[in-house]
Amino acid sequence: MNKSERAKYIHKKLNKIYPKIPIPLNHKNKFELLVAVLLSAQCTDERVNQVTPVLFKKANNPLLMKKIPLNTIYKIIKPCGLGPKKSKAIYDLSRILIEKFDGKVPEDFIELEKLPGVGHKTASVVMSQGFGHPAFPVDTHIHRLAQRWGLTSGKNVVETEKDLKNLFPKQSWNKLHLQIIYYGREYCSARACYGLECEICNTCYPRRKKPIKTIKA
């Protein structure tokens, strides 16, 4: 199979395995989603989902979050790692949302990426899952699998995102990026498969004999 054929097979296979795909981070509004994605950096979704109910019970919007002492935010979100940095980002972005956006999360990539603690991936998730705009957030799972499946050279996440966007239909991006994440967790994890064992890897590269060394995101 060439790259285009692999992409078509993968897309069809993932739609068969995951016809409906849940959003991994629990949230009830766009602000909660923004905070949850911010917390998920270098942290599992499971851990974030354990922490956010406590935080959002105290504050589920920027106005309430700004009223919470910074140290209180820190104590709640500490299990997610990078506590000092993340707590300050949550506090500061809440203030900015109030001052600049009337307490609402902006529906704009550029404005989102200007917020403290919000990079391109976080902005992409919010635009995709929060507002429904086509986006292809690339996390470590997607970056790893795209390399194992021969869809990118994998030099960095920016290049991987560009390559995947060129391979898959725009209307599929929002669902597909989640399908790849779930597949990576279940069948092609960082410490398993190595491009040799899961069904997609075997179908894409039936003659592959050596483990694939992927470039980390």
Q: Could you give all domains of the chain from N- to C-terminal order, each with its CATH number?
A: 3-21+136-204 (1.10.1670.10), 30-130 (1.10.340.30)
pLDDT in tens, 106-117: 999 999 999 999
Catalytic, 121? Answer: yes
Phi and psi at 116, nearest 5°, equal -55, 135
Catalytic residue among 66, 86, 139, 163: 139
Whether 68 has a pLDDT exceeding 80, the answer reads: yes
Classify residue 62 as exposed, middle or buried by CB count within 10 Å of its CB (0-12, 13-18, 19+).
buried
Q: State how far the alpha carbon of 171 is from the alpha carbons of 159, 165, 175, in Å.
A: 20, 10, 9
128 pLDDT tier (thresholds 50, 70, 90): very high
Whether 217 has a pLDDT exceeding 80, the answer reads: no
pLDDT in tens, 12-59: 999 999 999 999 999 999 999 999 999 999 999 999 999 999 999 999
Classify residue 201 as exposed, middle or buried by CB count within 10 Å of its CB (0-12, 13-18, 19+).
buried
92 pLDDT tier (thresholds 50, 70, 90): very high
Q: Is 20 left (phi over 0), alpha (psi -120 to 50) or beta?
A: beta
Task: Provide the pLDDT for residue 155.
Answer: 87
Q: What is the mean pLDDT of residues 70-77?
A: 98
pTM beyond cutoff 0.85: yes
Strand runs labelled E in the chain:
none
Q: What is the mean pLDDT of residues 131-136?
A: 98
69 pLDDT tier (thresholds 50, 70, 90): very high
C-alpha 75: how far from chain center: 24
Task: Provide the pLDDT for residue 180.
Answer: 98
Catalytic residue among 121, 162, 210, 216: 121
Catalytic, 139? Answer: yes
pLDDT in tens, 162-202: 999 999 999 999 999 999 999 999 999 999 999 999 999 99
131 pLDDT tier (thresholds 50, 70, 90): very high
pLDDT in tens, 138-169: 998 999 999 999 999 988 999 999 999 999 99
